[in-house]
Amino acid sequence: MVSLTQQIADLQDKKLYQELHWTGTFEDYIQIVRERPEVTRTAWQRLYDMIVSHGVSEYTDNKKKIARYEFFSDPLSNGQDAIFGLDITLQRLVHVIKSAALGYGTEKRVILLHGPVGSSKSTIARLLKKGMEAYTRTPDGALYTFDWKIDDEPGIEFEGNWIPCPMHQDPIQLIPLEWRAKAIRALGLDERTTKYPIPVKGELNPACRYRFDVLMQRYDGDFKRVMEHIRVRRFVFSEQNRVGIGTFQPKDEKNQDSTELTGDINYRLIATYGSDSDPRAFNFDGEFCVANRGIIEFVEMLKLDVAFLYDLLGATQEHKIKPKKFPQTDIDEVIIGHTNEAEYQRLLNNEFMEALRDRTVKIDVPYITKKSQEIRIYEKDFGPASPRVRGIHVAPHTLEVAAMWAVMTRLEAPKKHDLSVLQKMKLYDGKSLPGYTQDHVKELRKEADREGLDGISPRYIQDKISNALAGEKGGRYINAFIVMNELESGLRHHSLITNEEHKARYYSLLNEVKREYEDIVKNEVQRAISADEEAIARLCANYIDNVKAYTQKERVKNRFTGQDEEPDERLMRSIEEKIDIAESRKDDFRREIMNYIGALAIEGKQFDYRTNVRLHKALEAKLFDDQKDTIKLSTLVSNVVDRETQEKIDVVKKRLIENYGYNEESATDVLNYVASIFARGELKERK
């Protein structure tokens, strides 16, 4: 019987482990470089190739081609950190990274992600770090460093007396700078034969330079003999192990120390090496050091103390850091920071920060302004597949109304067009409105100054949906009204909304959303009531017969009496009015229908009302009007329902469950709500 330990051990991919822990000689590495020059890529080049390796697709939005980088859908973690609705922002970010990879100048800049709280700045940085970790574990992302073997060096505590390069530098940097370019050409690795030129810049760090010089003296300048003390090994990035991935988070001023970035003296080793200026007695373990050849993230970067500013400027522009008591040391890494609006405004107003502003590429990361994309955020956390929901039913449109309100708070009121914010939101989401084209949408986006940089954060919405799940209905299910009540009550105590004018606007927008939701569920119940396909088909056939007779100035045969009669104008208008066909346009609409049917006939196709969206909608609305009186939906509010009506209501409820995603309780609630609307309507008519 196989032991439990062995069963666990069998899960390991031993071949992969061996590949990731490959070791060889300097000669072996040079051969690898000749076969795969990409192992010497800079950090920017490796980052760009990592993003592109996951695939790129294109789509058109408002006549503009936009690239969608699949990496930002987070395929590494099944979408756990997926970014939604920010394709344009991410495209700008990748263009900056590509420019840096090609050496166009942005490699000497800090990428600063700027935007409101909760706009996914940290998520983007986390994704990039996670992507780099995974990429270095693949053959395409392989990279190498080296260790030293010096048996007579005091203070050695490493396994097998192999002393690792403290900054994981490329073994190519062991070739002295003055003849490195010639060596690369001698290997046949010039710019014409590689995607990226082999880097010729970059000196060894002080500790490795010291050991190199000692060995060169020992062997009287024989480089080949020195390389016998070198072991090249493959390594992978790991934030947990502080290899290739660095993260720096500002602390209070008393606890901030620039050695956190550049490293510090190991005082225990001073006795061994006799001096605090001996590079072997220095710990190159600052965040800049551990992130060498990879990426470093500055959390809330603009909260950095001024003491850190000089280190950051040198690391950005010169790709060098200045460890205590040692010369400037070369680094190769992507520097990415993020900040919120308040801190960025402070940067703009601080004249002492001009140098940093000049070395910064700002990427605005706004809130999402498309409802369909905002919904995806909440579906990830609270959709049917989410473990957070734990069997609690989330009624249809619950997440939709929350997303609708969130997006509307971020939109500016249109300046030139006679539109409401609700209509503007629909246009942004790709819906069509009469009289508006893609050019109008483009103009609306251009006229906005700060759209997406203000408004309600997705975090607030997530918190309120969580409250709703934990609150009412005994944990059985939640609906749109429960969530909207949470959103409304939470506004009173929202810590980030202190402006009463903004708060009043958000309340007003929430009322608009409630009215929109009312229309949505009315339409849904209407469609459930009129979902009798045979009845719609009969009504359609009757309408088409009358339209044909009307346009051809003929009479219609009555199906019951068999007599020829004039076209039923009342029937035709009762259907056309459902889709706002004015009396003056009825002839045009009827001819349009007949031309459409004729065109299908020429192609050998049969007319189907489902293919004409407007007519289908009109037929459903007409059938609903004809049937709602027989169902007597409004009697639901009186709790006195006869058996025949109850059977019909049960059929409607079944359709809501099967076709629209409701459960028994939520279907009952939505029917009761729509019934109350009709009851109010009937009361108004009697008055």
Residue 361: pLDDT above 50? yes
Could you tell me if residue 280 is inside a domain? no
Residue 582: pLDDT above 70? yes
Could you tell me if residue 456 is inside a domain? yes
**Same-domain pairing of 378 and 506:** yes
Q: Phi first, then psi: what are they for 297, rounded to 5°?
A: -110, 130
Query: Binning pLDDT at 50, 70 and 90, where does residue 640 land?
Result: low
Count of all residues that appear for the chain in the document: 687
Residues 78, 90 contacting (CB under 8 angstroms): no
Could you tell me if residue 143 is inside a domain? no
How buried is residue 250: exposed, middle or buried, by Cβ count under 10 Å (0-12/13-18/19+)? middle
* Rama region for 175: left / alpha / beta (φ>0; ψ in -120 to 50; rest): beta
**Same-domain pairing of 622 and 637:** no
Domain count, the chain: 3
Query: Binning pLDDT at 50, 70 and 90, where does residue 253 land?
Result: low
Could you tell me if residue 637 is inside a domain? yes
Could you tell me if residue 145 is inside a domain? no
**Same-domain pairing of 415 and 446:** yes
**Same-domain pairing of 456 and 536:** no
Q: Which of 453, 481, 514 is the last residue of a domain?
A: 514
Query: Binning pLDDT at 50, 70 and 90, where does residue 686 land?
Result: very low
Q: Which amino acid is at 493?
A: H
**What is the structure's pLDDT at 195?**
80
Q: Looking only at Cα atoms, what is the longest distance across the chain? A: 119
**Same-domain pairing of 610 and 658:** no
Could you tell me if residue 421 is inside a domain? yes
CA–CA distance, 106 with 83 (Å, rounded to integer): 24
pLDDT tens digit sequence for 62-106: 778 899 999 999 999 988 899 999 999 999 999 999 999 999 999
Could you tell me if residue 377 is inside a domain? yes
**Same-domain pairing of 400 and 469:** yes
Query: Binning pLDDT at 50, 70 and 90, where does residue 473 land?
Result: low
Residue 109: pLDDT above 80? yes
**Same-domain pairing of 393 and 461:** yes
Q: Which of 479, 514, 549 is the last residue of a domain?
A: 514
For the segment 242-270, the average pLDDT, to the nearest whole number, is 83
Closest CA to 679 of 626, 624, 639, 623: 639
For 434-462, b/e burial (b = at least 16 CB within 10 A) is eebeeebbebbeeebeebbbebbbbebbb
**What is the structure's pLDDT at 292?**
95
Could you tell me if residue 273 is inside a domain? no
Query: Binning pLDDT at 50, 70 and 90, where does residue 562 land?
Result: low
pLDDT tens digit sequence for 21-63: 999 999 999 999 988 999 999 999 999 999 999 999 998 877 7
**Same-domain pairing of 377 and 439:** yes
**What is the structure's pLDDT at 679?**
66
**Same-domain pairing of 395 and 498:** yes
**Same-domain pairing of 572 and 478:** no
Q: Which residue bears the tokens 């944990």?
A: 475
Query: Binning pLDDT at 50, 70 and 90, where does residue 186 land?
Result: confident
pLDDT tens digit sequence for 381-395: 888 877 777 778 899
For the segment 519-534, the average pLDDT, to the nearest whole number, is 79
Q: Which of 629, 651, 677 is the last residue of a domain?
A: 629
Query: Binning pLDDT at 50, 70 and 90, where does residue 596 land?
Result: confident
pLDDT tens digit sequence for 115-171: 998 899 999 999 999 999 999 999 999 999 999 988 777 666 656 678 999 999 999
Average pLDDT, the chain: 85
**What is the structure's pLDDT at 7?**
84
296: β partners:
246, 335
**Same-domain pairing of 625 and 583:** yes
**What is the structure's pLDDT at 252?**
65
Quote the domain boundaries for residue 678.
Answer: 632-687
CA–CA distance, 328 with 318 (Å, rounded to integer): 10
Residue 336: pLDDT above 50? yes
**Same-domain pairing of 399 and 508:** yes
Residue 683: pLDDT above 50? no
Residues 637, 643 contacting (CB under 8 angstroms): no
